[in-house]
Amino acid sequence: QVQLVESGGGSVQAGGSLRLSCARSGHTYSSLCMGWFRQAPGKERERVASIITGSGSTVYADSVKGRFTISQDNVKNTLSLQMNSLKPEDTAMYYCAAMTRGGGWWCPPAGDWREYNYWGQGTQVTVSS
């Protein structure tokens, strides 16, 4: 079992920055595929970024490359998402997720959210123009 709790969402003007955090607790794994996802009203949930915690290997959605950075603190068991140069189209509910299937050393290449089996409650990010 893995528990995930997000924090750090809020409202910001376009061009601003926010930092999301995800505290992980529960069973300890040598490596996990973890990711940040977002879902805007009426849209499909999409992967923003993912990381394999054992190797540090990351993948980003094209829409956030160069603006967002996913990182981890293995001591604190925390996953973070630094979001810079925010745009109104980044407005969404953001979720932290973990996938324990696949041994923890692999993330779904297409970023299918259905592959992830643990989810946080989400945190709202609103970017105004």
Instruction: Tokens 């980044």: give the residue.
Output: 90
pLDDT of residue 42: 95
Could you tell me the pLDDT band of residue 76, with boundaries at 50, 70 and 90?
confident
Q: Identify whether the C-beta of residue 123 lies closer than 8 Å to the C-beta of residue 7.
A: yes
How far apart are alpha carbons 95 and 89 in whole angstroms?
Answer: 16
75: left (phi over 0), alpha (psi -120 to 50) or beta: alpha
Rounded mean pLDDT, 104-127: 93
Chain segment 19-39, per-residue pLDDT in tens: 999 999 998 888 999 999 999
